[in-house]
Amino acid sequence: MMVHKSYSFKEADDFDIRFWKRAGAAARLSAAWLMIADYFKIRGGMDVCPDYEDLFKALNACGVRYLVTKDIDVWLPPELNDGQDIYTALRKFGAPLTGLSPKDFANRKLILQLASSPCAH
């Protein structure tokens, strides 16, 4: 455990940014995953499907930048990513990409929805 003393919100924010940059991608993924799991527990005791963890690992391994919303939607902004990287990450995850190509992921209007039956734990 670590303690850091700050005297302003800016100083505390700056420390947090430096801390998480030094921690590395794996630590950030682990922390994000714990926050997602805690969010669902607080929200009503829902279990989080382990597919999300696999998806985040694949995205991170391919260097894809993404945003996770409170509803656990995953946004892959084309202006921040290469279509080939997104395509490779989704293929690595096991997404059915029939009819899609890397150039599709450069289209800002594309909304790709992946769904499966609810996870059973």
Is residue 45 in a domain?
Answer: yes
Residue 67 bridge partners (DSSP)? 75
**Average pLDDT rounded to a whole number, residues 63-76:** 82
Name the residue range of residue 69's domain. Answer: 17-106
Residue 82 has pLDDT above 90, yes or no: yes
- pTM of structure: 0.60
What the block records as the tokens of 7 is 């005297």
Is 7 in a helix, a strand, or coil?
A: coil
Domains identified in the chain, total number: 1
What is the model's pLDDT at position 116? 56
CA angle 54, 55, 61 (to 5 degrees): 90
Q: Among 82, 85, 72, 78, which residue's Cα sits nearest to residue 110?
A: 78
Residue 28 has pLDDT above 70, yes or no: yes
What the block records as the tokens of 102 is 């890397």
Q: How confident is the model at residue 48 (pLDDT cuts 50, 70, 90)?
A: low
Q: Where are the beta strands (DSSP E) in 22-66?
A: none
Is residue 117 in a domain?
Answer: no
